[in-house]
Amino acid sequence: MQVPNYALSTQQKQLVGEAFLKFQLAPKVPAMFPARTVQEATVVPTPRITAMPNMPACMLGLINRRSRVLWVANLVRLLGLPLPERSSQQYSLITIQAGNMPLALKVETIDGIIHIPPETIQPPPSHANPIVLPYLKGSAIYQDESILILDAEAILQSSALQHA
């Protein structure tokens, strides 16, 4: 009698755990949102965003996506990080939502969905920039890379957005 093999394949093991959308906040600054808070991840030409006057520096403007008008914010600026920006012909946007408030966030690049086992999620790293700490849920190690886990609700409650 042959005993069935219940061992998980490498691919199956990677699918165990919570789903996250991984992206580059800035070059060599990996971050992710829990997939349940993400509505859409897309790349759009920069002219699709309409700039609005008298807005905080983090606000890029408005975009019409799927018959909805959304605010677009530069996530690096929204978090208050002093990271350099590159000009681009297109923006990588992640639309997040908590409650009924959606917001599109410009990020460096979108890497895709990954699955993180709950036991690998840790508190925010002690070396994290103090400006970013209120927006972090934690961190995780994935393929030998430390990745920040951002809190969509905290970002949507940011004081910079309250003045927009």
pLDDT digits (tens, 9 = 90+) for 104-160: 999 999 999 999 999 989 999 888 888 899 999 999 999 999 999 999 999 999 887
Pair 37, 20: CB distance under 8 Å = no
Which comes out higher in pLDDT, residue 121 or 10?
121
User: In which element (H, E) is residue 76 found?
Assistant: helix 75-78
Q: What is the mean pLDDT of the chain?
A: 87
What's the mean pLDDT in 71-95?
A: 87
Distance CA 32, CA 142 (A): 11
pTM of the predicted structure, to 2 decimals: 0.85
**pLDDT of the residue at 159:** 83
Tell me what pLDDT residue 164 has: 54
Residue 83's pLDDT band (cuts 50, 70, 90): low
